[in-house]
């Protein structure tokens, strides 16, 4: 079983989808050899901006080349076939950016992949999604430490990354979830709105674990997503997916709205479609543990 991580995730599934991983759980370690690998450009592993460029013997930094979702999946496929030696993959599963990888797996690795579960994404990154990514990148570019792209990797533009993360956190949720959690409440000690405190906390927490240049490169990789590129368009590409595929959408997702999952279900021949009712927005694929887990389990039990 291959599990693909989302934008700021990593290969340690237990940290972000641990409630699905283990004996008797959807990612059943008694039944499956479960694999998750870091995407290209990651600051957790795989070659990225913090890796040494063999040509210059210096860190890549902002010179790290542009890579695509497809590139990442090609690398992971080589790992599965030639390093692990697997000859069959029971299922490829991912949400958000992980779902995009899972879609590519269904095409590039179709000789191995027996089923797929694709959650909270579409066939290509839309102008809306690219725009949201771009506002985050612009926050990093506006940090003085960006230095016109000549970044000192020992002193990177983390202030810009804080703001980028705050923008992202808003796009992952909904107005209803923010109102329910924060309302217009003000912190007695600081006089700040509680929602401001939350965003500041999320920004600070994020820079303690993520690199600004990796964030730039991975959001660009996210924007590269287009299963129809060089394949005759989206409809043609999706029609070539032959394995049983479960498509899951979150009804309140404003970042990857349901019409995108409906398109996948329409054009992937052997697909099933399920909608999760949630007020949590895009993050519902992480937060609605029981209902998402049950959906995954029912599908896998039929394979």
β-bridge pairing 52-53 and 2-4: unpaired
pLDDT in tens, 25-48: 999 999 999 999 999 999 998 999
Q: How many CB atoms lie within 10 A of CB 114?
A: 14
Superfamily of segment(s) 2-126+226-302: Alpha/Beta hydrolase fold, catalytic domain (3.40.50.1820)
pLDDT of residue 30: 97
In percent, how much of the chain has pLDDT > 90? 100
Active site residues: 96, 253, 282
pLDDT of 23 reads 97
Residue 122 and residue 173 in contact, taking contact as beta carbons nearer than 8 Å: no
Structure pTM? 0.97
Listed residue (32, 34, 31, 66) closest to 48, CA to CA: 66
Reported as half-sphere exposure (CB side, CA atoms, 13 A), residue 167 has a value of: 17
Secondary structure class of 99 (helix, strand, coil): helix
CA distance 87 to 203: 42
Q: What class has domain 129-221?
A: mainly alpha
Domain ranges (residues) in the chain: 2-126+226-302, 129-221
CA distance 47 to 70: 15
Q: Do the domains at 2-126+226-302 and 129-221 have one common CATH topology?
A: no
Give the per-residue pLDDT at 219: 98
pLDDT at 36: 98
- HSE-CB at 261 with a 13 A cutoff on CA atoms is 28
Q: What is the dihedral of CA 295, 301, 302, 303, to 10 degrees?
A: 110
For residue 67, the model assigns a pLDDT of: 97
How far apart, in whole angstroms, are the C-alpha atoms of residue 34 and residue 27?
7
183 contacts: CB under 8 Å, gap ≥ 6:
194
Distances (CA, A) of 167 to 107, 162, 183, 240: 33, 9, 19, 36
Q: In this structure, what token pair is assigned to residue 49?
A: 């901006």
In this prediction, residue 108 has a pLDDT band, given cuts at 50, 70 and 90, of very high
Q: What is the pLDDT of residues 130-179, one digit of tens each?
A: 999 999 999 999 999 999 999 999 999 999 999 999 999 999 999 999 99
């Amino acid at each position: 079983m291959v599990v693909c991580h989302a934008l700021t995730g990593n290969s340690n599934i237990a940290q972000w989808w641990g409630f699905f991983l283990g004996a008797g759980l959807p990612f059943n370690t008694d039944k499956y050899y479960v694999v998750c690998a870091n995407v290209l450009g990651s600051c957790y592993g795989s070659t990225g901006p913090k890796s040494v460029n063999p040509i210059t013997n210096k860190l890549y930094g902002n010179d790290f080349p542009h890579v695509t979702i497809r590139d990442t999946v090609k690398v992971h496929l080589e790992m599965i076939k030639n390093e692990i030696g697997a000859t069959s993959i029971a299922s490829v599963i991912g949400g958000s950016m992980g779902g995009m990888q899972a879609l590519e797996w269904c095409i590039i690795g179709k000789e191995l992949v027996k089923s797929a579960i694709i959650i909270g994404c579409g066939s290509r990154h839309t102008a809306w999604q690219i725009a949201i990514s771009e506002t985050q990148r612009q926050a990093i570019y506006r940090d003085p430490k960006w230095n016109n792209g000549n970044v000192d990797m020992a002193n990177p533009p983390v202030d810009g990354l804080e703001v980028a993360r705050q923008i992202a956190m808003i796009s992952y949720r909904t107005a209803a979830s923010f109102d329910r959690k924060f309302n217009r409440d003000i912190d007695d000690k600081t006089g700040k709105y509680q929602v401001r405190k939350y965003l500041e906390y999320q920004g600070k927490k994020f820079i303690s674990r993520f690199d600004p240049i990796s964030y730039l490169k991975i959001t660009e990789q996210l924007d590269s997503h287009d299963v129809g590129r060089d394949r005759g368009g989206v409809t043609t590409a999706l029609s070539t997916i032959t394995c049983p595929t479960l498509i899951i959408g979150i009804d309140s997702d404003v970042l990857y709205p349901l019409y995108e999952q409906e398109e996948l279900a329409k054009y992937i021949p052997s697909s099933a479609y399920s909608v999760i009712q949630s007020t949590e927005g895009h993050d519902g694929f992480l937060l609605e543990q029981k209902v998402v887990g049950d959906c995954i389990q029912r599908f896998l039990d039929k394979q």
